[in-house]
A and B are shown apart, each in its own frame.
Chain A
């Protein structure tokens, strides 16, 4: 099948981002995902500059640490400086992104990173970059394996840490009284978000990462308020978005990442309007019942 690796990789991105996104939107931290996805840029440039190539591990380290630094700065300005959260997020990530762009310009002759690539990625090209064994056997696209690893990591993190994540998300006070550290889980979650963002970044760029963190969980949340069904629905939507986005992009010959965000938006719109119609019907029935009485 054409583009099978692309679709599977995109689905993996959608699943890993979406699963973490569920916790982010429940913690009212959706925009932190946005901030991290932009703030990792200087980390990527520095890693590239130091290692001299696109090795995955230095990139993950460089960008991951910048992501955690960004969340730390946001918290710091908010707590110590009493700066409101939205402004704290806005100031921090734009500053780091500007730093990244300046670094790219400064090392333009040494660092081969495109600004376009940063914003909307090049998932269509992942098949050009294969993981080749020493024996010469071609395993398949490198990004695919990176995403596979990250997805397993995220799923493992959520399965193992379900209790901690659950309690610190829904009832931080109760969590603290039974001895679960809110700060620890906050930074663990942020660390995972940074890691996933960075890994997905190469494939789909900053914006699709945000779309995948926010849109599928938001859609799932409209359907179910329970956490487990929400997580499962998010994965299902992720796969639908990956498939639909790929074929939409092929059809109109445009960016795959952009098409996936578009499909995600359409999916949300459909669920949103069905939800609205149900709400209106319910209130109509109620009004009828009232008038009968």
Chain B
């Protein structure tokens, strides 16, 4: 508790730098990441973050050997990073356009070659020695915990710039991300907008890479957007959510590395945001995996129950006696169900008032009879519809009807009835009950 208070009251100025730096970085890359995610170019961030390395090394060599500057100049380094990061995207686009290689191959190619060149240059610089080169490798793995006031100012500027551009061009970006061919048709400068979006991505990567490092920078762009996508279909809400997830994980990451100083900030930010994403994948309403599984189970149960009622109706139809009580083995003779599921469904149908049970024998109630009749009617009506309107052979229509009978709504039912004019027989000469 004491450390918590210590942390959030900024007992040491360093806490403030690390905390705000982490939050600014996480929020601005999360916002830009939403657009690259929607354009299905999530891995662009990964490529750019690897590709900035040769730029950083080259501009370091330029500033130390040509300009003879004694210290690292962050602006020259960032400029170099910007140039090669940008170049890597140009390479991908050209390889995809001009050859038969696919996007994934071009991405891996650009990423690994640029990074390889970067590593070669960096090891070359390190062997050259010199005190000014120390710290270059913070670009590789990131050192969020050593953020200082100057970095924060730089982060702040870039973050404000990114957010301002996104707000100004929100409508344009939205259209380009969702339907760029439509945007092109109605006269939007799609190429220019793509260019701006790419530039923003490169900027976000270049500014963030010192804090979290090459590999994890990709996560700062992709993961919050992927998590947010599971909660909403609205772009504006998605951006707010992604930014929120980013800010949350930035805060927790900074806090963890404050409590346990041996723990790296960047990887913890990524860990937290990844856990948020995993939770979203499973638990989000409507899109979450758990929700989908439950919904499917529910539908399967409904289908099973309707099939049982249908079966009772068909058995009654055969014997012309709907009042007959039937045992479980009677049911299984006609149609194989899993015994456990069948028992469970019978109990449930009894509770709902569709069946009654006496001495282990089951019987349809009035409601059960009506519901079973409706399913049989829908099945046979659909078979008539398929043979009459779609000209499908009568022996091919059963499977389709078996599925659709559970789905047709009362409105559709009325339409079918009036369209087919209440036919008496289905294609297999069975009566259609009304």
Contacts and interface: CB of A to CB of B under 8 A. Distances in A.
Interface of A: 25, 28-31, 33-34, 38, 77, 80-84, 86-87, 89-91, 94-95, 97-99, 101-102, 105-106, 108, 115-116, 119-120, 207-208, 210-211, 213-215, 217-218, 221-222, 225, 248-249, 252-255, 257-262, 264-265, 268, 272, 275-276, 279
Interface of B: 37, 40-43, 45-46, 50, 95, 98-102, 104-109, 111-124, 127, 137, 140-141, 214-216, 218-219, 222-223, 225-226, 229-230, 262-264, 266-268, 270-271, 274, 277-278, 281, 287-289, 292
Nearest to A205: B119
Q: Give the 8 A-B residue pairs with the shortest CB-CB distance, closest first.
A: A261-B116, A258-B119, A265-B113, A94-B219, A258-B120, A211-B112, A214-B108, A95-B274
Contacts of A105: 262-264, 267
A89 B292 CA distance: 22
B43 A211 contact: no
Given A90-B42, A258-B119, A116 B137 contact: yes
A265 B222 contact: no
Contacts of A102: 263-264, 267-268, 271
B226 A213 contact: no
Contacts of A210: 108, 111-112
Contact of A34 (B101, B108, B118): B108
Given A25-B104, A95-B223, A120-B119, 7 more contacts: A28-B104, A83-B281, A89-B42, A208-B112, A218-B101, A265-B109, A265-B117
B366 to A, nearest CB: 42
The secondary structure that dominates the A interface is helix
B215 A77 contact: no
Nearest to B217: A94
Contacts of B45: 90
Contacts of A211: 112-113, 116
Contacts of B113: 211, 215, 261-262, 264-265, 268
Contact of A81 (B137, B219, B271, B289): B289
Given A207-B115, A268-B113, A275-B99, A98 B289 contact: no
26 contacts: A28-B102, A29-B104, A83-B229, A84-B37, A84-B40, A86-B41, A91-B222, A91-B277, A95-B274, A97-B216, A98-B219, A98-B268, A99-B267, A102-B268, A102-B271, A105-B262, A207-B50, A218-B109, A254-B122, A258-B120, A260-B116, A261-B115, A262-B116, A265-B117, A272-B98, A275-B99
A207 B122 CA distance: 14
A215 B264 contact: no
B364 to A, nearest CB: 38
B226 A83 contact: yes
A90 B216 contact: no
Contacts of B114: 265
Contacts of A115: 140-141
A29 B41 CA distance: 15
A258 B120 CA distance: 5
Given A28-B104, A91-B223, A265-B113, A272 B120 contact: no
Given A90-B222, A95-B219, A254 B127 contact: yes
B248 to A, nearest CB: 16
A30 B107 contact: yes
Nearest to A266: B113
B101 A222 contact: yes
B232 to A, nearest CB: 15
B106 to A, nearest CB: 8
Contacts of A91: 219, 222-223, 226, 274, 277
Nearest to A124: B123
B19 to A, nearest CB: 19
A261 B219 contact: no
Nearest to B103: A28
A214 B109 contact: yes
Nearest to A77: B281
A258 B218 contact: no
A262 B222 contact: no
Contact of A90 (B101, B223, B287): B223
Nearest to B115: A207
Nearest to A206: B215
A252 B120 contact: yes
A275 B1 CA distance: 65
B215 A108 contact: no
B116 A265 contact: yes
A254 B124 contact: yes
Given A34-B108, A116-B137, A272-B99, A257 B267 contact: no
Contacts of B101: 25, 218, 221-222
- Which of B113, B114, B214 has the largest count of A CB atoms less than 10 A from its CB? B113
Contacts of B271: 95, 98-99, 102
Contact of B119 (A106, A222, A261): A261
B337 to A, nearest CB: 27
Nearest to A213: B108
Contacts of B137: 116
